[in-house]
Structures are given as C-alpha cells and as structure tokens.
Chain A
Amino acid sequence: MIEVQNLTKRYGDRTAVSGISFTVAKGEILGFLGPNGAGKSTTMKMITGFLSPSEGKVTVGGYDMAEQPLEAKALIGYLPEVVPLYPDMSVTDYLSFVASLKGLPGNEIADRVDYVVKRCWLEEYRNRLISHLSKGYRQRVGLAQALIHKPPVLILDEPTSGLDPRQINETRELIRQLSGDHTVILSTHILPEVQNLCHRVLIINKGREVAEDRPENLENKLKGSQTVVMEVAGPESAVREALQAVPGIRHLSVVPRTNHDAGILDIKAETDPTDAVRAGLASAVVGRGWGLLELRAARLSLEDIFIRLTTAESPVADAASGSALSATSGT
C-alpha cells in the first residue's frame, strides 16, 4: 500500500533523513521508533506530500506522490505532530471543513462527521470551540480529522502525545480496531506503544534506518548475545579484571553502589549466549572468595534494543546494529 524508496531530505549541508526505504502492506501497522529529532516527522511529512524529498520516491496506493499528488493525498489521513486546528471553529464545523477539503461529497459530510465524532469520543464536545478544548481533546479532534474521509492509509505522528493514561489506552485500542481496513504508520518514542500495537517496527536514528523487523524478532535477533546481571561484593578493579578475563565476555559494566550498600557492585555483562559463560562468571567470583549475591540472565526488552541501536558509543551497540541491519536486508 505504501512504498518508500531511498527517501532523503537535505537542508543545505544537514541531512535530516538519509536513504530510508520500506514498504507497508494493506492492513499493517508500522511503527517508527526513534529518539526526538531522529527524522520520524520529516519522513512522515515526505510520505504525506507536505515536504518534497531531496531524493527518493514515495508511492501510496500505486500513485507516485511526486507525479500524481492529488490522487495519492486523497488516500491519506494524516495527523501531524502539531495538530492543525483552527481555534475559532467548533469541532463539527472544523470536521466538515476538512471533509470538504478532502473531497467528500456534500451529502455525506454530516453523517461522516457524526461517525468520527462518536468514534473519537467527542460527542459531548461537538459544538465546543476548539480553542476551549484541552490538549487531549485537541489530539482527538486531530485524529477525527485524519479519519474523516475514510482514508485507506493513516499516517499518525505521535498519536498519543499529550494524552492521559486512560486516553492513551483508548487511542491505542482505536488504532488497533482501525488497522483492519486501514494501513497505518505511526511514530512514537514510547516503546510499549510499539510492542502493543505494531506489526512491524522501523527504528530510525539520526535520519537513518537502524533496524526493521517485527517487535518479537528484534528481540530474538539480539538473542545472539545475552545480558548477565550480577551483584557482587568485592573490590571494584579486581572484580572488573577477573570478570573481563572470563572467555565469552563482550562488554562489561561495573557500577559500585554509593549508598549504605558500599562495597557492592552492580555488574552488567554482554556475553556469548552460552551457559558456560555464566558458569565461568560465577566461578571467577566465588573462586576468589568474593560474595556472589546475584547472577541471572536478563531478557532483552525492546527498550534495551532501542537504546543500544540508537546510542553508538559502545562497541556492542555497533555490533548489534550491524546484525540487525544485515537481517533487515533479508526481509
């Protein structure tokens, strides 16, 4: 339904988005995940035809956004990061205006406005001026205007931002229900949102695509390594040295506690995925007479993956993004 090839946006010397490519099938929910300023919004602005890409191509429902923008735009419902509202209009007037702007025939507008008002829980507020609505309700009006013309494609830029926890759940549920007959791209920097909602995740950092896969596969992919969490009572530098020497250790972080637990070290080790490494770590500690208070293999959460893929400091992060990228090209 949506095809994006080598999408690039440059502003002078600065590259905001660089060579992003992906496709989204009908009925699928794709999540853009990335830190603030990663290029998620810029990418969405290019997909919706607001910004023209410096390079690359966007096709929506078979229409090239550069060649047939009107046909392509007619298929898209778009909730921008800054909700585009006219504060001097009432909710229904605004929605009717958007409906005619999107080309909905005049005799269908009233029914359709009623439908989206119900769908987005706005019934009590339908005659309210938009300037009198709270942030959460404005966000709902934004969602309602994106749905007004029954678009087969929905592009939602941080749809749950500014909502309270109950509204977040309602909105997620709404998006989930919509995904059946709509194709959805949504952006977020909230991880549970992606885990809950999306069929596929595209992680973007500094304008580049860092990884793309199903949320569960991303986790499995990084199972190529394991994270071992330990709590050890012992001298910091000696412990560090001893553990570093255990075969299969890739990366080690040792953090001494500073409060009343002084002398206890919190250790996180990135290791080869074998039981032998854990046994090796245990005997390295116990064999030297230090206290082994805890040792467990931690399951990687999407959060760990996200942080590792988007922080390029440690060698582990590079290795992880490398493996994720190579798997991406296989999908």
Chain B
Amino acid sequence: MSKILAIAKRELRSYFVSPLAYVVAAFFMAAVGFLFFAILTSTREASMRTLFQNMAVVFLLLVPALTMRLLAEERKSGTIELLMTSPVTDEAIVFGKYLATVTYLVFLMALTLIFPLSLVAIGGKPEWPLIWTGYLATTLMGASLMAIGLMASSFTNNVIVSALVAFVLSLIIWLLPAIGGTFGSPISEAFQYMSIISHLENMARGVIDSSDLLYYLSVIGTCLLVTVRSVNVYHWR
C-alpha cells in the first residue's frame, strides 16, 4: 500500500512541477467559468445541472492530456524498468498511477466549488443535495475517462498516440447512443446504457441509481484490469 502511495505521490508531483497541471486547471476553470456565466445570463436560471454536463465535455478534451504520459512516458524513458524490477506488483503500479490522476481530478472539481459558493455569496440558496449528486456523477464520469486514458497509455510508448487513442475511445463510448440509434430496440437501448453521458444525465437530476454507479465502476474496473494485463505483457517483450 505504501508503495502505491509512493508511486501516486511521485506522479502527482510530476503534474505540479510541470506547467501541465496549471495549464489544464487554468483552461478548465476558464472554460467552466465562461459556461457558468453563459448559462446564468442566457437562461437567467442558476442551474448547476447544465454546468455538470458542460464540464463533462471539457473533460473529454482535457483528460487525454492528463493521462497520456502515465505509462507511455515511463516506457519511453526506461523508468518502467525501475518500477517493474522493484518489489511491487504490476497492479500496484497501475493503481498508483490511477490514484494520482484521480486525485488531480478531485482537485479540479474542488476548484469549481467556487461557482455554487458564489451563488451563496449573492444570497442564493442552492439545493446542496442536488449539487453533491452532480459532483459525484461528474467526478465518476471524469474518473471513467481517466481509466480509459490510462489504459490507452499502456498500449504505446508514444504519448501522442496515447492521447489520440484515449480521445477516440472516449468519443466512441460517448457517442454510443447515436451509433445505437441506427439499430432498432433492444440494441439501441443497450447502447444507450453503455453510453458514458446518459448516466451523468440521470445522476445530475439528483437521483443516485445503483445502475448508474455500477456502470461507472465497471468502466473503471474493466479499464484498470485491461491496463494491468497490458503491463504484464511488457515482461514478454
């Protein structure tokens, strides 16, 4: 466990000693801030629900940039050899990396608390339970995209390829309902369930349904499992 934490800590450090963490945070806050402002002025309604969906779109663009280096760069620079000849399991390496990137996600989400808090500051009374559900849903959705990104990063030692694969995979899982729509029921319903965005919509309504939670947890679980297998394969190359 302490080794997982050591790996996660090093990874987080490397986010924050490079400009990446700050550029991503600045871009994210600027985009979300602009969207928040646009929603407020255009609908004259202080709704966080639309904002969560917009955040999800921003994640689609930002997450590959955050995850592309995770394993691809370790392989390129040869530091993966240090990790894999240390007394740690391949699982610990993968979980450590994932823990780091999700911690950064939680940091980003925490920054956005300024928006509902600003509503409080001007005398609004936001519905906090609804907001917390939205935060949970958006974070889970971001964490799912990060698991996809980490998996993509394990497939190649080229960070650009890694980012592209992550983006394309995320886009596919995003657009599944549109793809499924061309087929009839029940395929289109199955595709609807597999879409990463439909569950966010459910939860942003304030309903925590176990099927939505299960969906995100299984996307994360599956991707991490594939990543561990893919890291195992390095031993044979």
Give which listed residue, A48, A86, A93, A103, contacts B79 with CB less than 8 A. A86
Q: Chain A residues near B13 (CB, 8 Å)? A: 88-89, 93
Find the B residue at minimum CB distance from A97: B10
B85 near A73: Cβ-Cβ < 8 Å = yes
A-B interface contact total, Cβ < 8 Å? 77
**A84 and B2 contact, CB distance less than 8 A:** no
Interface size on A, residues (CB 8 A): 30
Q: Is A82 an interface residue (CB 8 A)?
A: yes
> Which single member of B3, B82, B84 contacts A145 (CB below 8 Å)?
B82
Interface-centre pick from B7, B10, B17 (highest chain A CB count, 10 A): B10
Count, chain B residues at interface, CB 8 A: 26
Q: Once bound together, how far apart are the Cα atoms of A267 and B77, in whole Å?
A: 49
In the complex, which of the residues B77, B86, B237 has the most CB atoms of chain A within 10 Å of its own CB atom?
A: B86
**A76→B137 CA distance, assembly (Å):** 44
Question: Residue A325 at the B interface, CB < 8 A?
Answer: no
Check A86–B14 contact: CB distance below 8 A.
yes
Convert B54-91 into 0s and 1s, putting 1 for each residue whose CB lies closer than 8 angstroms to a CB of A: 00000000000000000000000111111111111100
B41 within 8 A of A: no
> Which of the residues A82, A89, A97 comes within 8 Å of B78, measured between beta carbons?
A82
The answer to whether A84 touches B86 (Cβ under 8 A) is no
User: A52-B236, A97-B10 in contact; A84/B77 too (CB < 8 A)?
Assistant: yes
Residue among B3, B18, B81 with max Cβ neighbours from chain A (10 Å): B81
- A70 near B89: Cβ-Cβ < 8 Å: yes
- Flag whether B190 is at the interface (Cβ < 8 A): no
Say yes or no for B6: interface residue by CB 8 A criterion. yes
Q: Looking at the complex, which one of B3, B18, B86 makes contact with A88 (CB distance below 8 Å)?
A: B18
22 contacts between A and B (CB under 8 A): A45-B81, A70-B88, A70-B89, A71-B87, A73-B86, A76-B85, A78-B81, A78-B85, A80-B82, A82-B77, A88-B14, A89-B10, A93-B13, A97-B6, A97-B9, A101-B3, A101-B82, A101-B83, A101-B86, A101-B88, A102-B87, A103-B2
